[in-house]
A and B are shown apart, each in its own frame.
Chain A
């Protein structure tokens, strides 16, 4: 590949007191790729995301975004550079209508930085974004208070909030968790469309079948280490991966 990687994670590690949550993880991410990150619970996937977005400080190692070191920057600056993430636990503002939940990202200073930034009423932009992620305009779903919406819509709202920032790198932390098959089937096309538009995406997931439909590469983690990396099919054949998920017979 001749293009420089968009994101480089180099020997990243994090210890909480005595617990080594992440050990010596390194990988590159090319622009336009969709990388899946999988692994058993507690393997450090969310810690990895938190480190990249700098919600926690790394104990060792470095993260480079577009060739620039970012591990010393506060999280809000990293968002302004073009990295957006969703949270595993969605916590919208329950009393507000769904589209009002979008206002805060649309108030972000990032919006001014974007070439051809969207002008116009923030409410209208919010409604438009929500329609893109599947809030049916006719049913006026976007006007309902967030507390009244089922999980599928809340996850899409979370996605819309991240997309609103027009990031170059989108990190989705267990977007599919808690969703029915139908709901997942509804969201996957949205992600595929984002990919076609050229967005680079990292997806942390437990739902492997759906993930493998969209992922170019997969990274497998266990106990804070990277144990395998490569195309989906190849990775699943790896003995270490099988061991991690299923346990060995010894």
Chain B
């Protein structure tokens, strides 16, 4: 049972990491907390569903289109909404929050909930590893999470755009003097966050079904991971995801499934008391931001 729980804990961690990485990336680069993140996640899921059911497009094509659509939507949100309120914290938060709300509740109103609303798994197989059944989809999630993190690392350290991202993240004013267009980068960051949400949806939704509630769940989990791991830090996302993943899974197996949420909440409370900026948090306290 121990090995089985460990395997599922790792997978749980990978799921959490996939959910949180988009949000963390957007914030890390441009300081925008995209509270419509959950909505983007669900939006892409419903989008693919529609492409598959109504237009009968092949699955890979639908995925590509959905990711592209999400990225465009993200950039559009920046260009038409966020750009106008950039810099005013109150307005940014409320604008993204309101949008996410409108989108999720629209789907809830349309009543697109139910078992037929789901995405297919990639390969319908399962394996037996060390005495536990593990389906292929979950293994793919784990693999993809690792690949994604590596790809992001390479991107931000070895490509021009990626380095521009890190430049803006470190010091916006100096980056501006290097000719980096802050607005372009910010729009890209929102777009990438939305695109990553779409990718996460593609891998994770097949485990269950699509529903607007998923959108709120994803947002909660992404926020929890970012609070514990530290906003804007990829290392923090990894560490926090693994930690919460293990904590939740082991609590579920050995204590009871009711307690998993309490464990997450307790983790947040502990982190906030001991190291408020998160495990790997680079957020300095107020005084340090002068």
Contacts and interface: CB of A to CB of B under 8 A. Distances in A.
Direct contact of A and B (CB under 8 A): yes
Interface in B261-290: 287-288, 290
A50 B288 CA distance: 9
Nearest to A54: B287
A74 B287 CA distance: 8
A75 interface: yes
Contacts of A191: none
A50 B284 CA distance: 15
B277 to A, nearest CB: 14
Q: In the complex, which range does the number of interface residues on chain A fall in?
A: under 10
Contacts of B287: 54-57, 74-75
A54 B288 CA distance: 9
Nearest to A47: B290
Contacts of A56: 287-288, 290
Nearest to A75: B287
Interface string B38-57: 00000000000000000000
Contacts of B290: 50, 55-56
A57 B288 CA distance: 7
A75 B286 CA distance: 11
Interface in B171-211: none
Contacts of A57: 287-288
A56 B290 CA distance: 8
B288 to A, nearest CB: 6
A55 B284 CA distance: 12
Nearest to A49: B290
A50 B290 CA distance: 8
Interface in A40-59: 50, 54-57
Interface string A170-202: 000000000000000000000000000000000
B261 to A, nearest CB: 35
A56 B288 CA distance: 5
Contacts of B288: 55-57
Contacts of A55: 287-288, 290
Nearest to B282: A17
A228 B224 CA distance: 52
A200 to B, nearest CB: 23
A56 B287 CA distance: 6
A74 B288 CA distance: 11
Contacts of A74: 287
A56 B285 CA distance: 9
A124 B277 CA distance: 43
Interface string A54-68: 111100000000000
Contacts of A75: 287
A75 B285 CA distance: 12
A57 B287 CA distance: 9
A73 to B, nearest CB: 11
Interface string A127-171: 000000000000000000000000000000000000000000000
Contacts of A50: 290
A187 to B, nearest CB: 24
A137 B279 CA distance: 55
B275 to A, nearest CB: 16
A75 B288 CA distance: 11
Interface of A: 50, 54-57, 74-75
Given A56-B290, A57-B287, A74-B287, 9 more contacts: A50-B290, A54-B287, A55-B287, A55-B288, A55-B290, A56-B287, A56-B288, A57-B288, A75-B287
Instruction: Sort A-B residue pairs by CB-CB distance and give the 8 closest, nearest first.
Output: A55-B290, A55-B287, A56-B288, A75-B287, A50-B290, A56-B290, A56-B287, A54-B287
Interface of B: 287-288, 290
12 contacts: A50-B290, A54-B287, A55-B287, A55-B288, A55-B290, A56-B287, A56-B288, A56-B290, A57-B287, A57-B288, A74-B287, A75-B287
